[in-house]
Amino acid sequence: MATSHLLAAAAATSTAASAFRRPPLLSLRSPPPSSSLRLNRRRYFQVVRAAETDKETKANAPEKAPAGGSSFNQLLGIKGAKQENDIWKIRLQLTKPVTWPPLVWGVLCGAAASVEDVAKSIVCMIMSGPCLTGYTQTINDWYDRDIDAINEPYRPIPSGAISENEVITQIWVLLLAGLGLGALLDVWAGHDFPIIFYLAVGGSLLSYIYSAPPLKLKQNGWIGNFALGASYIGLPWWAGQALFGTLTPDIVVLTSLYSIAGLGIAIVNDFKSVEGDRALGLQSLPVAFGMETAKWICVGAIDITQLSVAGYLFSTGKPYYALALLGLTIPQVVFQFQYFLKDPVKYDVKYQASAQPFFVLGLLVVICYLPPLL
């Protein structure tokens, strides 16, 4: 995500002037349903369009949030969340704070060469985490509302816990705040070329086309997941590096390679949405290849990338870096067999919580190898 994710939709800004009677981001609305399927506005996010679901999917769809939902899970924006009426808690849930750490870590990796300016680092992390990753998660939920109405109808948007106008306002506020902080950081760093701002714009556009039609990259499992991986790893890394050092071709190539591992991480989130994706024709990898094959593709993308990078480190005369990366890959493989490969839906949160810390520590090993950061 990501993301956290550096993500947003700058292409939508040109429509704001014509939307004086409606809330901002009018261009992000989906076309209204046909007259035969038109829904009452008050039930718009609660009823799945009949033409898009079959009887089996409806029979399997949960009617309400699981009993005993956790307030902590709700604030983090993860499965098992308690249903809330407080609008600010709902707003926070939509931004999925649990997805911020990879983006914040990416910034720290890019800033590793020069961490003396703590204030700049904090602003850069706020830009990539709460603002642009929050934007990404909110806009993704907005365009996934039909899928969520099948898989998790109790989520904030399909359940109607937050209004259409409130969601659209949140998308705009987070987007403009993230882009504004990017521009501020360029001025603060004295850049002649506003590279951080343009990275934020590029990531924002990538986020938009990932979630929104007509491109909707997430419809294609390979392209969409690689785009998501690059957003969570490459873009925040580049932003931190550009802020405190020099963004070199070596760094771009190596982080792009690592984004293949990010593709694997992105697939983890597709397993819980299989029913909705299938009903709406989205070709996520679990839908296209089946659950069993997709989970091996997922772990393969993560592990093979790290083994390849370790081989590269060894070939360049850095055996200790290579061994350190291999050592951090082993516990990830253990947790894959213990949790993810056993049941990717039931254990997705446990798997990510246990394996991802070792993954990001591996990123730090690669950072320490790069000559510009020594």
Question: What pLDDT score was predicted for residue 196?
Answer: 93
Same domain, 104 and 163: yes
Question: 203 and 279 in one domain?
Answer: no
Structural domain includes residue 62: no
Question: 284: domain CATH number?
Answer: 1.20.120
Q: Are residues 213 and 270 in the same domain?
A: no
Identify whether residues 94 and 211 lie together within a single domain: yes
Residue at 196 is within a domain: yes
Q: Is residue 91 part of a domain?
A: yes
Task: Point out the domain boundary residue: 198, 227, 256.
Answer: 227
**Is residue 47 assigned to a domain?**
no
Q: How many CA atoms lie within 13 A of 7 on its CB side?
A: 34
* 188 & 327 share domain: no
75 and 220 part of one domain: yes
Whether residues 285 and 352 share a domain: the answer is yes
Q: Count the helix, strand and coil residues of the chain and give each as a percent rounded to the nearest 5.
A: 70, 0, 25
Co-location of 83 and 219 in the same domain: yes
Residue 202 maps to which CATH number? Answer: 1.10.357
Residues 6 or more apart in contact with residue 361 via CB below 8 angstroms: 328
Supply 356's token pair: 């991802």
Secondary structure of 116-141 in the HEC alphabet?
CCHHHHHHHHHHHHHHHHHHHHHHHH
How many domains are there within the chain? 2
Looking at residue 112, what is its pLDDT?
54
In-domain check, residue 33 = no
Task: Map tokens 């003396």 to a residue.
Answer: 116
Give the closest residue to 349 by CA, choosing from 151, 82, 76: 76
If asked whether residues 182 and 262 sit together in one domain, one would say no
Helix (H, G, I), strand (E, B) or coil at 70: strand
In this structure, the chain runs to a length of 374
* pLDDT values of the chain reduced to their tens digit, one per residue, 374 residues: 333 333 333 333 333 333 333 333 434 444 444 433 333 433 443 433 333 433 443 444 445 555 556 776 666 666 667 777 888 888 888 887 867 766 565 566 555 545 457 788 888 889 988 999 899 989 999 998 988 888 788 889 999 999 999 999 999 999 999 999 999 999 998 999 999 999 999 999 998 998 898 888 877 777 877 787 777 777 877 887 788 777 777 677 777 778 788 788 878 878 888 888 888 777 888 998 999 999 999 999 999 999 988 988 888 888 999 999 999 999 999 999 999 999 998 898 889 889 988 987 888 788 776 654 33
Nearest alpha-carbon partner for 212 in 232, 39, 204: 204
Residues 264 and 189 reside in one and the same domain: no
For the stretch 20-25, contacts whose Cβ atoms lie closer than 8 Å and that sit 24 or more positions apart, written own/partner, are 23/164, 23/165, 23/168, 23/169, 24/168, 24/169, 24/172, 25/168, 25/171, 25/172
Of 168, 192, 227, which residue sits at a domain end?
227
Closest Cα partner for 256 from 307, 325, 309?
309
pLDDT at residue 33 in the model: 43
How many CB atoms lie under 10 A from the CB of residue 168? 21
Chosen domain end from 158, 193, 227? 227
The CA-CA-CA angle for residues 198, 204, 208, to 5°, reads 145
40 located within any domain: no
Q: What is the pLDDT of residue 10?
A: 33
Q: Name, in order, each residue with C-beta under 8 angstroms of 176's C-beta and a sequence gap of 6 or more.
A: none
Q: Which residues pair with 70 in a beta bridge?
A: 81
Beta carbons within 8 Å of 86's beta carbon, 6+ residues apart: none
Indicate the residue type of 14: S
Question: How many Å apart are CA 339 and CA 365, to the nearest integer?
Answer: 25
216 within some domain: yes
Quick one: which of 200, 175, 159 has its CA closest to 47? 159
Whether residue 72 sits in one domain with residue 165: yes
| Whole-number pLDDT of residue 296 | 95
Note whether residue 30 is domain-resident. Answer: no
Residues 186 and 325 both lie in one domain: no
Q: Which domain holds residue 343?
A: 248-373
